[in-house]
Copies of this chain bind each other. A is one copy, B any other.
Amino acid sequence: MQRSHVHLNGRITPADQAVISLFDVGLLRGYAVFDLLRTIHGRPFLLAEHLRRFRASAEYLNLRVPATDEEIAGAIGELLARNGHAEATVRLLLTGGISPNGMGFDPETPTFAILTHELPELPARIYESGGKLITEEHQREIPEAKTTNYLTMLRNLPRVERAGALDVLYHAGGRVSEAASASFYVVRDGTVVAPRDRVLPGTVGTFVLGLAKERYEMVHEDVSLEDAYSADEAFLTSTTRGIVPIVQLDDRPIGNGVVGPVTRDLMSRFRKAAFGEE
């Protein structure tokens, strides 16, 4: 484990000494939510949006985040200064706290932690030439809240690697929803299409849709798996990876298999808006 610190229940703690009770209901029962943001030039990107979503996830579980936005921002700043990442991801985690009988717990004593990791970087060629997704029939159980339940994603990782893919695109009932760790959008006849319903609202996705609306038609509607296969363009958005062009879905090319003009334009404008790059 990296020699770094975390924030655990209000205290800065060395990462290798950061422990929770075996009776934590986040461990025993998966009763936990999180959020993940990234830094750009060392500063949290879309912090307010991530905090808003984190609080909404907590509310879905009837949990209270035991800190104000200002306190959380301060703790993040302190951790980033100590841990010295070039760029970081910052993970907020909230559980129901200790459950002596593996069932009940006191919502007044949650477990709240902030962890940082070194930002993982995709190879540059993926942004230049596009990447591949594989598909799986699956519906995230609770898309409305960002719970810690990523079992299906982790279980699929070896299959994703074997396929040379970036991620798995989930579909259920004939409709695609999102990738395991990213939002998914298609472009059809110059219109940007966002799958609607039963999808976690992506913070970067929402930011990118804002850019898209300035120049393109943008609709939220059902997207079938066939719609996805036959789209002109497709792309992912995620906190850690920004906009990632998708040029292959399973064994089929998207459009003519190269990064399309709308995706390229959005990537360029996202870099300017988020990173200040000209």
Chain A contact residues, CB within 8 Å of chain B: 1-2, 6, 8, 15, 18-32, 34, 60-62, 89, 91, 93, 95-96, 98, 100-104, 113, 115, 117-118, 120, 140-142, 147-155, 157-158
Contacts and interface: CB of A to CB of B under 8 A. Distances in A.
A120 to B, nearest CB: 7
B19 A21 contact: yes
A50 to B, nearest CB: 15
A151 B155 contact: no
Given A19-B20, A22-B19, A24-B27, A149 B154 contact: no
A61 B157 CA distance: 11
Contacts of A157: 103-104
B1 A22 contact: no
Nearest to A2: B100
Contact of A151 (B30, B98, B102, B115): B30
A149 B142 CA distance: 11
Contacts of A30: 30, 32, 147-151
A274 B67 CA distance: 50
Nearest to A103: B154
A3 B91 CA distance: 33
16 contacts: A15-B23, A23-B115, A27-B27, A27-B32, A27-B93, A27-B148, A28-B93, A29-B148, A29-B150, A30-B32, A30-B148, A31-B151, A60-B155, A61-B155, A103-B154, A149-B149
A148 B23 contact: no
Given A30-B147, A149-B151, A101 B113 contact: no
User: Most B CB atoms within 10 A — which of A19, A22, A60, A153?
Assistant: A22
Given A28-B93, A141-B141, 15 more contacts: A18-B21, A18-B22, A18-B23, A19-B19, A19-B20, A27-B27, A27-B93, A27-B148, A29-B151, A31-B150, A31-B154, A62-B155, A91-B102, A101-B120, A104-B157
B18 A20 contact: no
B22 A115 contact: yes
Nearest to A1: B100
Given A1-B100, A96-B154, A120-B101, A6 B19 contact: no
Contacts of A23: 1, 15, 18, 115
Contacts of A62: 155, 158
A59 to B, nearest CB: 11
Contact of A20 (B25, B27, B118): B27
Contacts of A25: 154
